[in-house]
A and B are shown apart, each in its own frame.
Chain A
Amino acid sequence: MKPGRVIGTVTLSQGAPQFRGARWLLVSPMGKDELSGKNAGLSQASTPVVYDKIGAGVGDEILYVEGAEATQPFPEPIPLDAINVAILDHYAYAPPASS
């Protein structure tokens, strides 16, 4: 699972039939600076598009999963790379001062 901040949504006028009714989030991955509050904006990492069925909105911090496991909640095969698995209520991140 990777932490990310929702920075937008994506809509498709055409898509694979398995995607009917899907919501898509544009996510800025959160690295050390974003998690520890030093950078409240966008990270340098590239921006994945993440399938969402739990209802995250722009500005929410989420956890998303990339890779084959992303398709695991679906009973049918689905051509999916990334899925939102949690909307964070609270979090803390504090690496040791020496690192």
Chain B
Amino acid sequence: MLHARIDGWATATIAHPSLKGQKIVFCTPVDENGKDAGMPIAAVDPIGAGRHAKVFITTDGSWTQNTVHDETSPIRNQVIGILDES
């Protein structure tokens, strides 16, 4: 599980079939104080998190293979929750 902030988005026409129809977002990992903590990563976002929202991301590929209904999917990162502001 990664704590991250939504900082961007991307579109791709040519992609692995399991990415078709998925929203792709760029996220910056953050630490417990909200400071940036690492290189940006891309994730699929089925729940529609907004710009600069704080989110939880799973890096469990087998979970994502379930949710995209494709056991050949190489996708690992998926937004699984939006944090309430604290």
Contact = CB atoms under 8 A, between A and B. Distances in A.
Interface in A50-99: 54-55, 63, 65, 67-74, 83, 85-96, 99
A91 to B, nearest CB: 4
Contact of A68 (B35, B61, B71): B61
Contact of A83 (B8, B9, B12, B74): B74
Contacts of B76: 1, 65, 67, 69
Interface residues of A, number: 35
Contacts of B8: 35, 91-94
Given A86-B19, A95-B7, A45 B39 contact: yes
Contacts of B11: 88-91
B26 interface: yes
Nearest to A68: B61
Interface of A: 1-3, 29-32, 35, 45, 54-55, 63, 65, 67-74, 83, 85-96, 99
30 contacts: A1-B42, A1-B76, A2-B42, A32-B36, A32-B40, A63-B10, A63-B24, A68-B61, A69-B61, A69-B75, A72-B65, A73-B72, A73-B74, A85-B15, A86-B10, A86-B12, A86-B14, A86-B15, A86-B19, A86-B24, A88-B12, A89-B11, A89-B12, A89-B13, A91-B10, A93-B8, A93-B26, A99-B5, A99-B35, A99-B36
